[in-house]
């Protein structure tokens, strides 16, 4: 258990990089598990106002909620994916808001359907 923020980087090959942060107080165990599983290679899939990034770890939604703002990093235990919100969104079931994008949100918005992605710790 170290620190309150984990700085992370989303690398989209041949497109660029975005930065974000995991906020430990929003989900202490979930952010720890996420950070320990980095670096992570996956495929980002865009659906409506959401960018899904399937992950290899699983944990229940800590401090669950049903809504998020543009730029939030959400964990959805049902789909076993990290989701980046491209617009303010309300969910039917509970999800965990664990962080936010801090730099280059425009790059994430420009992704059309899918892209490879690597998530690393900074």
Mean pLDDT of 107-114: 93
pLDDT exceeds cutoff 90 at 58: no
Half-sphere exposure of 55 (CA within 13 A, CB side): 26
Tokens of 83: 């989701």
Eight-state DSSP code of residue 62: S
Domains of the chain: 5-121 (2.40.100.20)
- Which phi and psi angles does 88 have, rounded to 5°? -55, 130
pLDDT exceeds cutoff 80 at 103: yes
Query: 65 in helix, strand or coil?
Result: strand
pLDDT exceeds cutoff 50 at 1: no
Mean pLDDT of 50-54: 97
Query: 36 in helix, strand or coil?
Result: helix
- Which phi and psi angles does 118 have, rounded to 5°? -125, 130
Task: State residue 3's pLDDT score.
Answer: 60
Rounded alpha-carbon distances, angstroms, from residue 87 to 2, 59, 114:
31, 25, 18
Task: State residue 82's pLDDT score.
Answer: 96
Q: pLDDT tens digits, residue range 62-96?
A: 888 999 999 999 999 999 999 999 999 999 999 99
Task: State residue 62's pLDDT score.
Answer: 84
Query: 29 in helix, strand or coil?
Result: helix
Strand positions, DSSP E, 50-88: 50-54, 65-68, 72-76, 81-85
4: pLDDT confidence band, cut at 50, 70 and 90? confident
């Amino acid at each position: 258990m170290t620190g309150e923020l984990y700085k992370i980087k989303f690398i989209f090959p041949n497109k660029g990089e975005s930065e974000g942060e995991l906020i430990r107080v929003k989900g202490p165990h979930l952010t720890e598990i996420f950070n320990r599983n980095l670096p992570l290679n996956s495929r980002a899939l865009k659906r409506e106002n959401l960018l899904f990034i399937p992950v290899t770890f699983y944990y229940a939604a800590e401090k669950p909620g049903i809504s998020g703002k543009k730029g939030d990093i959400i964990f959805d235990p049902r789909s076993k994916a990290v989701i980046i919100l491209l617009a303010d969104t309300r969910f039917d079931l509970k999800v965990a808001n664990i962080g936010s994008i801090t730099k280059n949100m425009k790059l994430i918005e420009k992704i059309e359907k899918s892209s490879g992605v690597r998530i690393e710790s900074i």
